[in-house]
Amino acid sequence: MADLKIHNLKKGFDGNEIIKGIDLDIRDREFVVFVGPSGCGKSTLLRLIAGLEEVSSGRIELDGRDITDVSPAKRDLAMVFQTYALYPHMTVRKNMSFALDLAGADKQEVARKIEAAARTLELEPLLERKPRQLSGGQRQRVAIGRAIVRNPKVFLFDEPLSNLDAALRVQMRLELSRLHQELQATMIYVTHDQVEAMTLADKVVVLNGGRIEQVGSPMELYHNPANLFVAGFLGTPKMGFLKGRASRVEASGCEVELDAGCRLFLPVSGATLKTGDPVTLGIRPEHLNRGSEGNCQLTVKADVSERLGSDTYCHVVTGNGEQLTMRIRGDFTPRYGESLSLTLEATHCHLFDSNGVAVGQSLQQAA
Ligand SMILES: Nc1ncnc2c1ncn2[C@@H]1O[C@H](COP(=O)(O)OP(=O)(O)OP(=O)(O)O)[C@@H](O)[C@H]1O
Ligand SMILES: [Mg+2]
């Protein structure tokens, strides 16, 4: 069992509050990802959980036990860092056994655990090598192996893949997912890479400026972002935003008049808006279509396009200077500056009020 509960956790450095009151429940065997822009406090929050930083106030509980003031070694957690922090003069085997040897663990038991971890991580042929004789990905696996042999209640990872090249990152990402399935352990993983967050997590915690913006499954966050920050942070390419006003508000939805020059009716439930209120409409690149069929048609100018083979990301600019990205299957590429007609899929639009808070829930996506 490994249930972690965080209550109103705060941390300041030199009078600056960095973690500003975090409440979070992490359930046994969950894979939880902390994601957010650089400097938002992800590593600090992880280090507070690990006990590597002292909290300013608040409480951390592991399986009902208050561990807020317990030393890191006694928390039953294992941390894997971005810099693998392997001992260069020790073999892979010794690097993995070191903490257990120090704790006076039974030698045969240690050997058995190392063999098992090496098998899981495909490190068996490398056990007698030194870290400098390993590739980056292999070193990373040793660092993970060192955590596995300690059989912790919770694994803490701080950007463990960011020193690897793109192909290896993808491979290690899959291996981590597999490892989570095999070990059935609770894992907390920090990254600023939203693709890692979306693909690895059962639960994503979006942090911004030391606060939680939203917690939910990757698909909940993708389809129902609670605010403009989460909407803009998750998804590649990013969601496009268009300014406008609520021109008609009804029980069944809200009509929006966009500054870019069209009106459309959005079937959002529980609209708390009044006629005339300023709003921001959000639309993901896959929900913008070429052509003039549809109830909201915009004329835009093509900016640059990015061809990926399977898809093309066409960046476009509206008449009033707002930028959107359209995702088109195949390799259609408009000429730079060409005039294009687009339509928005109203059922997939998101609506935000003047404070950037999502208005209602899309009826289409809630169904
Ligand atoms: N020991 C410290 N003393 C003073 N300020 C610190 C200390 N550790 C972190 N900070 C500050 O706290 C803020 C959050 O840092 P943190 O390392 O948690 O960010 P992060 O979200 O992990 O960012 P990144 O994605 O760049 O790793 C930063 O502004 C940082 O400068
Ligand atoms: Mg960090």
- Asked whether 245 and 204 are in contact (CB, 8 A), the reply is no
Note the pLDDT of residue 160. 87
- Atom number of ligand 1 nearest to Cα 190: 22
41 lines ligand 1 (CB under 6 A): yes
Average pLDDT over residues 307-317: 94
To which residue do tokens 């260069």 refer?
A: 88
Which residue out of 40, 44, 46, 49 has the highest number of ligand 1 atoms within 8 Å of its CB and is therefore the one to mutate? Answer: 44
The closest residue, in CA terms, to atom 16 on ligand 1 is: 41
Note the pLDDT of residue 298. 92
Q: What is the pLDDT of residues 196-245, one digit of tens each?
A: 999 999 999 999 999 999 999 999 999 999 999 999 999 999 999 999 99
How is the chain split among helix, strand and coil, in percent rounded to 5?
30, 35, 35
40 lines ligand 1 (CB under 6 A): yes
Note the pLDDT of residue 365. 44
Average pLDDT over residues 247-256: 91
Average pLDDT over residues 314-337: 93
Query: What is the distance between the alpha carbons of residues 38 and 208, in angstroms, rounded to a whole number?
Result: 9
Amino acid at the residue 365 = Q
- ∠ CA 273-276-282, nearest 5°, is 65
pLDDT at 57 over 60: yes
Burial classification of residue 32, based on how many CB atoms lie within 10 Å of its CB (0-12 exposed, 13-18 middle, 19 or more buried): buried
Q: Which two tokens stand for residue 152?
A: 């912790």
Average pLDDT over residues 154-162: 91
13 lines ligand 1 (CB under 6 A): yes
pLDDT at 363 over 60: no
Q: What is the pLDDT of residues 113-128, one digit of tens each?
A: 999 999 888 899 999 9
**Per-chain mean pLDDT for the chain:** 91
Percent of the chain with pLDDT over 70: 97
Query: What is the distance between the alpha carbons of residues 258 and 247, in angstroms, rounded to a whole number?
Result: 9
pLDDT at 366 over 60: no
- Atom number of ligand 1 nearest to Cα 45: 18
Query: pTM for the whole thing?
Result: 0.91
Note the pLDDT of residue 169. 84
Note the pLDDT of residue 183. 86
Residue 53, Cα to own-chain centre: how many angstroms?
A: 23
350 lines ligand 1 (CB under 6 A): no
Average pLDDT over residues 288-302: 85
List helix spans (H) across the chain: 42-50, 92-102, 107-120, 136-149, 166-183, 194-200, 218-223, 228-233, 363-366
Amino acid at the residue 163 = N
- Nearest C-alpha neighbor of 193 from the set 154, 246, 243, 157: 157
The radius of gyration of the chain from alpha carbons, rounded to an integer in Å, stands at: 24
Q: Which two tokens stand for residue 193?
A: 């890479």
Domains by residue range for the chain, with CATH: 4-232 (3.40.50.300), 237-366 (2.40.50.140)
Q: Which two tokens stand for residue 139?
A: 């070193």
Ligand 2 (ion): residues with CB under 5 Å are 43
- Nearest C-alpha neighbor of 342 from the set 290, 272, 279: 290
Average pLDDT over residues 51-55: 95
38 lines ligand 1 (CB under 6 A): yes
Note the pLDDT of residue 103. 87
Ligand number nearest CA of 47 is: 1
Average pLDDT over residues 21-30: 97
Give CA separation, 13 vs 18, 19, 53, 58, 336, in Å: 7, 10, 10, 15, 49
Helix axes of 136-149 and 166-183: crossing angle, nearest 10 degrees: 20
Note the pLDDT of residue 364. 45
Query: What is the distance between the alpha carbons of residues 196 and 202, in angstroms, rounded to a whole number?
Result: 12
Backbone angles phi, psi at 292, to 5 degrees: -115, 10
pLDDT at 172 over 90: no
